[in-house]
Amino acid sequence: MAKRKIVVLIIQVALVSALSMANGCGGIPTPIDRTPSSPTSTVCPTIYVATPRSLENAPVMITFLIQDDTTTRDWNYSKNAFEALYRVLPTVTEPGDRIIIFRIGPSNFDDALVFIGTVGNVARPAIASTLTPWPTVTATVTPAQPTSDVPLFQTAAAVVATKTQGWISETATAADILNSCGEAVWANDFAAVATQWEATREAVKLAFGTQTSNITPGSGENAISNQVYEGLDHATRAFNDECKPNAYRRCLLIVFSDLSDWRPSVPHFQVPVSLKGVEVLSIMLNCPVLFSPNCSGVREKWLQTFKSFGAQNSTFINGDNLDKQLIDFIRR
C-alpha cells in the first residue's frame, strides 16, 4: 500500500511540473476564456486571384470532313452529319472558336469547302473563376469528459478540451475572413467584367447558331465519295495556315465517314498530308459494332494512318449517342 501511494504521488508531481512548464507559470492552467470580443473591423490579408493563362483561355479550331454521298447502308452521311452540327455547334462552341467544314469527295479545294467562320469576332477577357470557399471548420466530436478519479487528471483533460475548442474556433474564424475577403476581391476586380462578358458571349453564340443553321451540304457535284485523302489534303492546308502555336488551345479534326478510299496507299499531294498535334475523332456511322471484323480492320488501318500523319490521338465512334459524344470530345 505504501508503494502505491508513492507511485501516485510521483505521477501527481510529474504532471504538475509538466503542466506548469507548458503554461509558463507555477500553477495548473485554467480554461481559456472564449467569450466573443467586441466587434472590430476586419483587415483583409493580401489575396491574389489568378486569372487563366493565355493558352488556357484560347479558343479551339475544329475542322469537319463530311462524306459526300447519297446513302451508304443505314445512314445518309451528309444529312445526318449536318443535322448533328445544327444541334451541337451552337451549344458546344465558344466565342473565338474557328469552324471549317469540308465535303469529302471533291478534289478541288473550293468545291470541297462548305463553311468557314469564327464564333463572334470578340476577344475573350481573362476572368478568374469564382472562388471556392474554404470549408467551414467545426468540431465533429465532443471532447471526452474526464473519467479519472484523480482531480489533477480531470483538470488536465479539461484544459486540453478547452484548448482544442479554441483552436477550432480560431481556424473557423480565419476561414470565414478569407472567404469574405476573397469574395470582395473577386467582386471588385471581376464581377462587372464577368456580367458584361456573359451577355456578349450569349449574343455571339446565338448569332453563330443562326449562321450555322443555314449551312447546306452542297450539291454533290465534282465529287467522288471515297476520296478520303483529298479531304485530309484540304484539312492539312487549313491546319497549316491557321493552327499556330498559342493561337488555339486545341486543334480538332472530326471526320464523318466510313473511311473507305479506293486507293491502297496515300497518293501524292503538293503539300504532304500533316495532322501534327491534331486530335482526331472519326465517326463511322455505318459501324453499329466497332469491333466487328469489317469495322475493326478499317479502324486499325486508319489508327496507324492518322498516327503516321502526326495526329496527337485518334478516337473512333459510331452513331450511338452521337450528340453527347461530339460534345464530350470538343469539350474535353
Query: What are 78's three cell numbers?
Result: 451528309
Question: Does any domain span residue 284?
Answer: yes
Round to whole Å and give the CA distance between 105 and 70.
Answer: 12
Question: Does any domain span residue 173?
Answer: no
**Could you tell me which of 302, 324, 319 has the C-alpha nearest to residue 76?**
319
Amino acid making up residue 62:
I
Are residues 63 and 233 in contact, defined by beta-carbon separation less than 8 angstroms? no
pLDDT in tens, 187-246: 777 778 888 888 888 898 899 888 888 887 765 555 566 789 999 999 999 999 999 878
| Maximum mean pLDDT: which of 49-53, 69-73, 196-200, 302-306 | 302-306
pLDDT at 14: 44
Question: Does any domain span residue 215?
Answer: yes
Query: Higher model confidence: residue 138 or residue 281?
Result: 281
For the chain, how many structural domains are there in total? 1
Report whether pLDDT(71) > 60.
no
- Residue 63, Cα to own-chain centre: how many angstroms? 21
Question: Does any domain span residue 33?
Answer: no
Output phi, psi for 138, to 5 deg. Answer: -135, 155
Which of 1-15, 77-91, 232-246, 278-292 has the lowest average pLDDT? 1-15
Query: Higher model confidence: residue 241 or residue 51?
Result: 241
The upper half-sphere exposure of residue 50, i.e. CA atoms within 13 Å in the direction of its Cβ, equals 6
Question: Does any domain span residue 317?
Answer: yes
Question: Does any domain span residue 110?
Answer: yes
* Structural domain harbouring 111: 60-120+196-330
- In which residue are the cell numbers 476577344 written? 123
Query: Higher model confidence: residue 260 or residue 272?
Result: 272
Q: With pLDDT > 90 as the criterion, what percentage of the chain qualifies? A: 31
Query: What are 326's three cell numbers?
Result: 461530339
pLDDT at 142: 54
Round to whole Å and give the CA distance between 202 and 142.
Answer: 51
pLDDT at 75: 60
pLDDT at 172: 65
CB neighbour class for 25 (10 Å; exposed up to 12, middle 13-18, buried from 19)? exposed
Question: Does any domain span residue 43?
Answer: no
Average pLDDT of the chain, as a whole number: 77
Query: What's the CATH code of the domain at 278?
Result: 3.40.50.410
Question: Does any domain span residue 168?
Answer: no
**Could you tell me which of 254, 260, 253 has the C-alpha nearest to residue 298?**
260
